[in-house]
Every structure is written in C-alpha cells, then in structure tokens.
Structure 1
C-alpha cells in the first residue's frame, strides 16, 4: 500500500508549481481559450442534426427569388451541420468537367458491342459507374 501511495503522490503536481508551457502553447493561448468553451459538443452528431432539422422545419419558408446559397451562408452558425450538407446541393458547379466526365463514361459504356442496349439500362450503367466506384 505504501508503494502505491508514494507513486500517487509523485504523479500529483505540487499545488505551488505551475506546469511548464511550450512557446507554441503560449503563443496560441488566447485562441485556445476561446475554443475551449463548452458548446454543443456534449450532443452527438445525430442529436445535433435532428435538433437543427427540427428548428429548420419550424422556420418560415423563404420566397423563391431569394438566393438559397446566400441564405444558407447567413445561417451557417445557426445550422452548422445542415449548412455543410446544403452547400453540396445548392452551390453551382464552377466548371463543366464533371458533366464532361459523365459524357465520357456514357461514350465508354455505349459502344459497338452494346449497340442494342436499352436507354434505361444505359442510364443505370452510367449512374452506377459514376456513383459506386
């Protein structure tokens, strides 16, 4: 028992001694103190998303001419999880490369060997090729 007590005493810091901090920790101490505020971290991601979804459904709808991307940008602090997901759907693609890749995949899928393939089957093959690999 005495060995365990002395080991526990060694692991505890003396109340008068302050732990040494590195220069990097000292440099970013103010920013770290701001980040260590007790936020919604106690909530699981699923609970957070469900809470945001419930709040979003309770809000009044925006009118059609309003910019949806701008609205989500303004609401990113209120709905952090939903806004991340919304940006992947409401933002305009900056280039035509993805659509060109789909056409290229369609050209590879519908070739001379598959000249009698039905359009529905071709659509399904292109979809699976772009989404499952």
Structure 2
C-alpha cells in the first residue's frame, strides 16, 4: 500500500536528517529508493508544513534548523458494525491540515471491514 511506503520513507528521511547523514540529494534519493525530483518534492512538502529543514553545502546534508521530531501513527482495527455502514468504501474520509499537523482517517471496508486511522505530527 502506497500509504505505508510513504510513511516508511518519511520516517527514514527523518532519521537521516536528524543524524545529519542524508548526503547530497542524489545520494539521499538512492538511500530512499526515489528519484531526485521526488526527494525535492517531499522536502518541499515538509517545508510547507513548517518543518525547519535546510541544506548545508559544506556538510553536504539536510538538517533541522531547530530540534525537531516526526511522529507518524497508523492503526489497523476491525470496523464496528455501525462504522461499516457509514464508510465510503476506501476513500479518505477526513483530512485536516493545520500548520504542521495532519490528521486523517481512512475507512477501508470493502470485504475486509477494516479501518485505518492515523495521525502525522511534526513538532
């Protein structure tokens, strides 16, 4: 599932940035198994969410300009009977973007009756 791949990549990116060991964008792209342009897109997305990321040409790495943490949480659980009937069958049902917090709930009920709930917080 692409959602889980994206979460994994953001977590890996965060750890590399925190350790100041991303390398040049080309090296980072290889570490994350992405294209260089996609790395730039993800960095820009994070900056739009107020994540304080900068690049040091001297150290050849991305780094946080302030102490920073990323917390991504995803839960899988069976849907309760009434939730099952109120889902939209796999679409993103709630999305709230406020500064550097993204909360989402994805209801996936087609045959599996599962809910994916999560939050993405940058602090």
Normalised TM-score (structure 2): 0.23
Higher helix share: 1
Higher strand share: 2
Q: Which has the larger radius of gyration?
A: 1
